[in-house]
Amino acid sequence: MASSSSSETKSSSSKTEQKKMITLQSSDKDVFEIEQSILIQSGTIKNMVEDDFTFIPLPSVDTETLIKIIEYMKKHADKTDSKEKDIKEFDKDFMKKTLNELFALVFAANYLHISSLLELLYPSIADRIKDKTTEAIRQIFSIPCDFTPEEERRIIMDNKWAHEGTEIEGTLD
């Protein structure tokens, strides 16, 4: 009889533990209360939860980006075979963001150690920049040109093969 009672205690205690809430605070000081079971997709948050943190400030993640991260983690928290199609559709729609929004998500996902989100973001960004001109890529990544206009023309002439073929897109987004 006593073992049944302790078994019930363990069962109800694990149910309580599954619903444990964690408070996240963005760099903008906005606060979000989210279930621990959702947040442990983040290696950073998982480590803090294991150290008994219940309030986690995120000084490197703004509110807008944190909302998107939470949306992603909620959708991916209960990943099952039956929901796989829904999740793939969600991921496809989730990537329909500006490059600046994608970059903010990369920085946040890297800071929070959410590898599944990084694996989704990297190819999406690569696909967006693959047909850009060197000038557009420099502008996207804020890379200054180290060459004088004359040096740049010479490099283009010496490597004509790299600039032949399909028209290279020069738009930023």
The pLDDT score that the predictor gives to residue 113 is: 97
pTM value is: 0.76
The DSSP H or E segment spanning 33 is: strand 31-35
Residues in CB range of 99: below 8 A, 6 or more apart: 125, 128, 129, 140, 172, 173
Which superfamily does CATH assign the domain made up of 2-130 to? Potassium Channel Kv1.1; Chain A (3.30.710.10)
The pLDDT score that the predictor gives to residue 106 is: 97
The pLDDT score that the predictor gives to residue 128 is: 87
The rounded distance, in Å, linking the Cα atoms of 121 and 136 is 20
| 22: exposed, middle or buried (Cβ count in 10 Å: 0-12, 13-18, 19+) | buried
Strands 21-25 and 31-35: antiparallel
Strands 55-57 and 31-35: unpaired
Low-confidence ranges of the chain (pLDDT < 50): 1-17, 166
The pLDDT score that the predictor gives to residue 3 is: 45
What one-letter code names the amino acid at 12? Answer: S
Residue 11, token pair as written in the block: 């069962």
